[in-house]
Amino acid sequence: MDDKFIREIRIRKDEIAEDSYLQEIPAVRSMDVLRFQKPVTFFVGENGSGKSTLLEGIAVAYGFNPEGGTRNFNFSTNDTHSELGRSLFVLKGIKRPWDEFFLRAESFYNVATQIDEYERERSGYLKYYGGKSLHQQSHGESFLSLVQNRFSANGLYILDEPEAALSPQRQLTLLLLIHELVKKGSQFIIATHSPILLGIPDAQIFSLDNDMFREIQYEEAECYQVMKIFINEKEGFLKQLLQEE
């Protein structure tokens, strides 16, 4: 039985204007249907490849607030999200998640502010986030607090570059948290540059590099390859990069 909360997405290309910048994104140009076959799905690619745009489009099409939070969050501080969400069809699973959250690294501050506002409106709301304002913690601490206290079993979590605030050690902590939540029935869709997070067992990885949208193996991810070369051949790598004799 397919127990994914999001089973597949389809891009309705005829609804996208011919002069839209979305036509230049590999995921839009080269993909019609994307089926989620694993509980963890990654989008990887260089900056500007469109992975965050695709992730945001999925979140908006599913019903999330474009700036992040749960589907009950209803606020807007800067209307910069793309139009892709209106051109995506999301095929949902039979089961509905018990919990849902969309995280955007670039608007996490705004989400934390909105959580404080909800606390002022309804005392006790912060208990769902560890009982302490996310603004009173470091960026990394607040993000892990969010995952540890707000995320639960049988949840759907869409995360855009969650490693942005985390040290390598904290990325390993996040990997463990995701792995434990997956064992409890959760589904994750993640855009990332982190070779650490990509190491989560039995994940599906899609690359948007080289103007193509394709499924790849872990070892094919460019972020992994660059990190491997740097660690294993640091001297030669730096000499070539810095053009030193």
Distances (CA, A) of 30 to 25, 58, 107, 117, 190: 8, 16, 29, 42, 20
Does residue 215 register a pLDDT over 80? yes
In this prediction, residue 31 has a pLDDT band, given cuts at 50, 70 and 90, of confident
What pLDDT band is residue 123 in, cutting at 50, 70 and 90? confident
**Position with higher pLDDT, 28 vs 52:** 52
Rounded Cα distance, 36 and 8, in Å: 6
pLDDT of 103 higher than 90: no
* Rounded (10°) CA dihedral 99, 156, 177, 118: -40
**Mean of the pLDDT values across residues 130-139?**
67
Q: CA 166 to CA 67: how far, in whole Å?
A: 20
- The interaxial angle of helices 222-232 and 234-242, nearest 10 deg, is 110
| pLDDT-derived band at 184, boundaries 50, 70, 90 | very high
**Region 32-57 average pLDDT:** 90
- pLDDT at residue 137, as a whole number: 64
The CATH class that applies to domain 6-242 reads alpha beta
The pLDDT score that the predictor gives to residue 117 is 73
Asked whether the beta carbons of 146 and 167 are under 8 A apart, the reply is no
**For the chain, what is the mean pLDDT?**
83
Tell me, what's the pLDDT at 244?
A: 64
- Smallest CA-to-CA distance from 207 within 227, 196, 228, 191 is with 191
Taking the model in full, what pTM does it have?
0.86
More confident residue, 4 or 118: 4
Does residue 216 have a pLDDT over 90? yes
